[in-house]
Amino acid sequence: MSSNSIPDVRGRAKALDRDDPLSFTRSEFNIPTRAQIASTRLADPASELKTTASSDGDASSPCVYLCGNSLGLQPKRTPVRINQYLSTWATQGVQGHFKPLEESPLPTWVDADAKAAKLIAPIVGAEASEVAVMQTLTANIHLLMSAFYRPEINGRHKIILESKAFPSDHFAVETQIRHHGLSPETSMVTIKSPYSEDNVISTYDIMSVISTHAADTALILLPGIQYYTGQLLDIPTITGFAHKHGIFVIWDLAHAVGNVRLSLHDWDVDAAAWCTYKYLNGGPGCIGGMFVHSKNSLVTKEITDEKPEEGYRNRLAGWWGNDKKTRFVMANKFHPVGGAAGFQLSNPSILDITSLSASLEVFELAGGVPTLRKKSLQLTKFLEGLLNGMSEEDRKLFRIITPADPDQRGAQLSIALANNLLGTVMHELETRGVIVDERKPDVIRVAPAPLYNTFEDCVDFVEAFAAALQAGRDNAKSG
């Protein structure tokens, strides 16, 4: 680092951390030590690990974890709540479904999904009835499309998505189109930025593709935040524009939920889905979530055997989407509950919901997304400033591809590396106790999460990054 003098920026970072009203939430998390992330042995996290881990820093000090965009860290409440759940199961068996226990912070299992939906609703800006905690992200995208992509009904057959969509989203769209007997060649439209080599797509780019294909487009699937570039799309403007053309929009909020402010109901978003293992810290592969605007999930009429679909939007259904009042009557007549919950299939994993709900407690403690976003904007700007202040020699080896406008990004900065440096940089960062993630061919994604990251983490990262770039230069000289 050159224009950043380390003692100066570290002093500034320490002062910002001292003044941070949210600093208390860091202690709510298990932050792996440098020794732990270097270890190859299964560890009891409570006991101290003795390994010769990192080449830098104290092995027992916390690592620099800037990877909440991929997998959020474990809240300390998670094992506590999971043990309470295990104890309920061990001592109550099947009664855990319905029997409330004195002094238990956990809901009965039959109510666990509804309670978790209530906790998530303010995070996505929705009414509780518009949120369902269910399945996983890709499965939920498929379920939403099963209800809202119906080319055989109105002849609109095209689905618009971005050309660099997350592969799972791309596969979901392709296979939905085929599922309806159509061909992706004629029914799938991809948006590519005509100007940006990194495929940062402007709202204008998106609108012009929508305009071109408006007449026969049924549906648009877009990310709230693009996973590779970290770009935050203008959800309300794009949704409003699509609606003018009679097009339904589904948002993949994997990287947006718990990261940026969302007002799905007020923005008139049709439907959305997300995972909970990133900024929501639910744990790897944890249960996902779905939003369906109240206007799209109405159950308006008594459902008859003659016209079973009349009165509600058809969907792929399961018993957990049935009205709770008649769910256990076991009649073979599907009567969906109104709202997003009517799209559920199976009884959900209570282990997952317990894990997710433990983290949602921390969101409440922190004062919710508006408070977190305020700190997140500061943290990411601070990190960006440090990166931009690196030596000219370093600056030649990378560029930040995430938009510089804070309103067009969340916590994450994506850094594109030059000269095939990805492998070296990842290795060097890891040996220095820094965890970020890579997206091939040349990007590292660095995301300070306001719930547990500090300004000093940003300084530690940039210091290690400078050393990693130096190692890259040294390798090039010697190789």
Ligand X SMILES: Cc1ncc(COP(=O)(O)O)c(C=O)c1O
Residues making up the annotated binding site for pyridoxal 5'-phosphate are 137-138, 166-169, 252, 255, 277, 319, 347
Q: Does 433 bind ligand X (CB under 6 A)?
A: no
Minimal distance in Å, beta carbon 193 to ligand X?
18
Minimal distance in Å, beta carbon 17 to ligand X?
29
Site for ligand X in 302-361 (CB under 6 A): none
Q: Which two tokens stand for residue 180?
A: 């309806």
Q: Which residue is nearest to ligand X (CB)?
A: 138
Q: How many residues bind ligand X (CB under 6 A)?
A: 13
Q: Do 85 and 294 meet the contact criterion of CB atoms below 8 Å apart?
A: no
Q: Does 251 bind ligand X (CB under 6 A)?
A: no
Q: Which stretch binds ligand X (CB under 6 A): 6-14, 71-79, 164-172, 352-360?
A: 164-172
Q: Please state, as a whole number, how many other Cβ atoms lie within 10 Å of the Cβ of residue 435.
A: 19
Minimal distance in Å, beta carbon 138 to ligand X?
3
Listed in sequence order, the residues at least 6 apart from 426 whose beta carbon sits closer than 8 Å to its beta carbon are 436, 438, 444
E-strand stretches of 183-284: 188-191, 217-223, 248-252, 271-274
By beta-carbon proximity to ligand X, the closer residue of 255 and 293 is 255
Q: Does 162 bind ligand X (CB under 6 A)?
A: no
Q: Which of 13, 25, 29 is nearest to 450 (CA)?
A: 25
Among residues 113, 198, 252, 428, the one that binds ligand X under rule CB under 6 A: 252
Q: Do 249 and 269 meet the contact criterion of CB atoms below 8 Å apart?
A: yes
By beta-carbon proximity to ligand X, the closer residue of 137 and 444 is 137
Listed in sequence order, the residues at least 6 apart from 314 whose beta carbon sits closer than 8 Å to its beta carbon are 147, 150
Among residues 4, 136, 193, 376, the one that binds ligand X under rule CB under 6 A: 136
By beta-carbon proximity to ligand X, the closer residue of 168 and 202 is 168
Alpha-helix runs per DSSP H in 367-454: 369-388, 392-395, 422-431
**Mask for 191-230, x = binds ligand X (CB under 6 A):** --------------------------------x---x---
Strand 413-417 versus strand 398-400 pairing type: antiparallel
Q: Does 169 bind ligand X (CB under 6 A)?
A: yes
Minimal distance in Å, beta carbon 227 to ligand X?
4
Q: How far apart are CA 253 and CA 383, in angstroms?
A: 24
CA distances from 250 to 13, 58, 129, 173, 423 (A): 39, 46, 18, 11, 35
Q: Please state, as a whole number, how many other Cβ atoms lie within 10 Å of the Cβ of residue 181.
A: 9
Q: Does 168 bind ligand X (CB under 6 A)?
A: yes
By beta-carbon proximity to ligand X, the closer residue of 53 and 256 is 256
Q: Which stretch binds ligand X (CB under 6 A): 16-24, 91-99, 165-173, 362-370?
A: 165-173
Q: Which of 294, 269, 318 is nearest to 139 (CA)?
A: 318
Among residues 254, 256, 271, 421, the one that binds ligand X under rule CB under 6 A: 254
Q: How far apart are CA 41 and CA 49, in angstroms?
A: 10
- Three-state DSSP at 339 gives coil
Q: How far apart are CA 450 and CA 20, in angstroms?
A: 10
**Mask for 267-296, x = binds ligand X (CB under 6 A):** --------x------------x--------
Sign of the alpha-carbon torsion through 74, 122, 114, 220: negative
The length of the chain is 479
Minimal distance in Å, beta carbon 283 to ligand X?
12
Q: Which stretch binds ligand X (CB under 6 A): 199-207, 252-260, 329-337, 425-433?
A: 252-260
By beta-carbon proximity to ligand X, the closer residue of 63 and 221 is 221
By beta-carbon proximity to ligand X, the closer residue of 36 and 229 is 229
Residue keyed to tokens 């058809």: 314
By beta-carbon proximity to ligand X, the closer residue of 282 and 342 is 282
Site for ligand X in 48-107 (CB under 6 A): none
CA distances from 38 to 23, 236, 301, 453, 457 (A): 26, 43, 60, 20, 18
Q: Does 137 bind ligand X (CB under 6 A)?
A: yes
Among residues 4, 108, 138, 359, the one that binds ligand X under rule CB under 6 A: 138
By beta-carbon proximity to ligand X, the closer residue of 441 and 479 is 441
Q: Which stretch binds ligand X (CB under 6 A): 52-60, 134-142, 209-217, 314-322?
A: 134-142
Residue 194 DSSP symbol: S
By beta-carbon proximity to ligand X, the closer residue of 28 and 169 is 169
Which residues are at the interface with ligand X (CB under 6 A)?
A: 136-138, 166, 168-169, 223, 227, 252, 254-255, 275, 288
